[in-house]
């Protein structure tokens, strides 16, 4: 009898210990886009939703683009949310697995990069850019730098020798700065992600009639959620299901408010993708000799 009571007591203790066990904790690194404050406001609610939807505890980490790889290598990140160029670099160098891609703008989980000039500038073709002043977005931007750099090379224009001068703006909201720099004549032409042109047009900041689009890249995936190789498949699948299952009506409690997760993130949803979907990004990076295929 005493033996049975002892076994029962041990079983109850095991159950109680399991009930009190802390949930699995994952750190998700968000690449800062325009500013840290904006990135926290966009993705804090999404992080809270992932905790609620998966049963794990998700902790957000906000990182400048150049710091993401170092944090990943240190083992500080289990999941990542970055642009597609950085996803490809982490995949090629460290085995990052794709989970899902952001849906945003007219092309869903994909977008494209454009080369623009101000209407009335006299610039009508890419050949007209030789000797001209050009503004790119950040160097890690797949649709504000990489796509356009590759487009110029494919058209027989070497940005390093054929442009009169090119620059990359400093500070936050860099894509907007590049677009405004072309609009107001600080540069003759520039690189513009189509998604930023769409949003600035919708907000009344610019008009489609302001610009001539000299060239467009092909479509490729936009920002991407990835998982490091050591994260068990069951958790990767739970995160993917939670992301793809988001609807415009999904809400979560965050910072004392109940918020719409997608609306706050500025997204229309998430879409399943495969690593092969990023081959176009790889092709641009190889042509431009940029990470992860850089040559000096």
Burial 11-45 (b: 16+ CB within 10 A, else e): eeeeeeeeeeeeeeebbbbbbbbeeeeebbbbbbb
Beta bridge partners of 240: none
3-class secondary structure, 175: helix
Q: What is the DSSP letter of 22?
A: P
What DSSP string describes 189-230?
EEEEEHHHHHHHHHTTSS-GGGEEEEEE---EE-SEEEE-TT
pLDDT at 178: 96
CB 58 within 8 A of CB 250: no
Distance CA 177, CA 175 (A): 5
User: What DSSP element (H or E) covers 14?
Assistant: helix 2-20
List, by residue range, all CATH 3.40.190.10 domains of the chain. 24-107+221-288, 113-217
| Angle CA 108–111–117, to nearest 5 | 140
Task: Give the strands of the sheet with 25-31, arranged side by side.
Answer: 57-63, 25-31, 79-82, 224-227, 97-103, 269-271
**pLDDT score, position 15:** 42
- pLDDT at residue 20, rounded to an integer: 52
Query: Quick one: 24-107+221-288 is in which CATH superfamily?
Result: Periplasmic binding protein-like II (3.40.190.10)
pLDDT digits (tens, 9 = 90+) for 219-255: 999 999 999 999 999 999 999 999 999 999 999 999 9
User: Which stretches of the chain score pLDDT less than 70?
Assistant: 1-22
Provide the whole-model pTM: 0.90
Q: What is the DSSP string of 94-157?
A: H-PEEEEEEE-STTTTEE-EEEEEETTSS--SGGGGTT-EEE---TT-IIIIIHHHHHHHHTT-
How far, in Å, CA of 103 to CA of 174, rounded?
21
Summarised one tens digit per residue, pLDDT across range 113-149 is 999 999 999 999 999 999 999 999 999 999 999 999 9
pLDDT of residue 19: 45
CA distance 88 to 222: 12
- Exposure b/e, 208-238, CB count within 10 A at least 16 = b: eebbbebbebebbbbbbbbbbeebeeebbeb
Contact 50, 246 (CB under 8 A): no
CA dist 116 and 125 (Å) reads 10
Superfamily in which the 113-217 domain is placed by CATH: Periplasmic binding protein-like II (3.40.190.10)
| Cα Rg of the chain, angstroms | 23
Give me the chain's average pLDDT, please.
93
- pLDDT computed for residue 21 by the predictor: 65
Question: Residue 145: left if φ>0, alpha if ψ -120 to 50, beta else—which one?
Answer: alpha
Phi, psi for 226 (deg, rounded to 5): -125, 165
């Amino acid at each position: 009898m005493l033996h049975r009571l002892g076994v029962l007591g041990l079983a109850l203790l095991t159950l109680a210990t399991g009930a009190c066990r802390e949930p699995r904790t994952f750190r998700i690194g968000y690449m800062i886009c325009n500013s840290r404050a904006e990135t926290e406001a966009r993705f804090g609610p999404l992080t809270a939703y992932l905790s609620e939807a998966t049963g794990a505890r998700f902790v957000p980490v906000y990182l400048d683009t150049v710091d993401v790889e170092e944090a990943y290598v240190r083992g500080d990140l289990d999941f990542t949310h970055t642009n597609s160029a950085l996803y490809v670099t982490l995949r090629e160098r460290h085995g990052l697995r794709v989970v899902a891609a952001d849906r945003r703008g007219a092309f869903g989980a994909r977008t494209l990069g454009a080369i623009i000039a101000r209407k009335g500038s006299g610039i009508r073709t890419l050949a007209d850019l030789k000797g001209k002043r050009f503004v790119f977005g950040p160097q890690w931007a797949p649709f504000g730098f990489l796509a356009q750099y590759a487009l110029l090379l494919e058209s027989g224009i070497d940005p390093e020798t054929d442009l009169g001068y090119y620059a990359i703006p400093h500070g936050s909201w860099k894509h907007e700065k590049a677009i405004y720099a072309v609009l107001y004549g600080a540069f003759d032409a520039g690189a513009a992600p189509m998604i930023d042109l769409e949003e600035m047009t919708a907000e009344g900041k610019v008009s489609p009639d302001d610009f001539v689009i000299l060239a467009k890249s092909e479509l490729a995936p936009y920002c991407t959620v990835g998982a490091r190789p050591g994260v068990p498949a069951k958790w990767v699948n739970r995160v993917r299901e939670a992301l793809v299952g988001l609807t415009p009506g999904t809400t979560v409690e965050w910072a004392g408010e109940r918020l719409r997760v997608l609306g706050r993130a500025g997204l229309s949803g998430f879409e399943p993708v495969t690593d092969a979907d990023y081959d176009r990004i790889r092709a641009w990076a190889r042509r431009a000799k940029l990470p992860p295929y850089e040559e000096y």
